Amino acid sequence: VLDSQYGMYVWPCAVVLAQYLWAHRRSLPGKRVLEIGAGVSLPGVVAARCGAQVILSDSEELPQCLQRCRSTCLMNRLPHVPVLGITWGRVSPELLSLAPIDIILGSDVFFDPKDFEDILTTIYFLLEKNPQAQFWTTYQVRSADWSVEALLYKWNLKSIHIPLHSFGADKEHLASSSLPGRHTIEMMIISLAQSEGT
């Protein structure tokens, strides 16, 4: 799959994250939500349909992914959901001018290890601006070497593992895929680590 095509599929991680949002739908009305690496935007669309104020984003270098976000919004009768070009690891005017947010969503953004630090740099920037916010993320375990623990420590972030069975997402029809490869999905919530004395 070419890099430019990543955002053109509903990957299993998106379905699992959408299930988490649905399980927490009563807490979403009025919440300010940003989805990063949105692509087809399933989690962001679910959040918007549940009453959250959603902004979708994908890389400014992938205009076809940004157009896919817009098309998904139109198909789901959400024409007023903003779509922004935000490239991980880059401080841009779009990133600097974001309104306050409560929840950041990211499904399968931890795909290519070379992007992990850029992703967490962006997440850290957003959480520093919004200290009470959380990053809800699902990821597919593709390698035993896959880990962001050292980067979380470096960026003063902490994570909590969320078991899929706790929100009904451990069903094969949710966490599986007809796409090739192994599809073990995990979820975690990342937030700022507390400083000593606070």
The pLDDT profile of the chain, 198 residues, written as one tens digit per residue, is 334 455 566 778 899 999 999 999 999 999 999 999 998 899 999 999 999 999 999 988 888 888 988 999 999 999 999 999 999 999 999 999 999 999 999 998 988 888 999 999 999 999 999 999 999 999 887 776 777 888 999 999 999 999 998 998 876 655 555 544 456 888 999 999 975 444
Q: What is the pTM of this model?
A: 0.88
68's tokens:
């896919």
pLDDT on residue 185 = 87
Q: What is the CATH number of domain 16-192?
A: 3.40.50.150
Give Cβ neighbours of residue 149 (< 8 Å, ≥ 6 apart).
none
- Output the pLDDT for position 182: 52
Q: Where are the domains of the chain?
A: 16-192
Closest CA to 191 of 140, 120, 94, 96: 120
Strand partners, 137: 106, 188
Task: Give the CA-trace dihedral at 5, 168, 52, 138, to 10 degrees.
Answer: -40
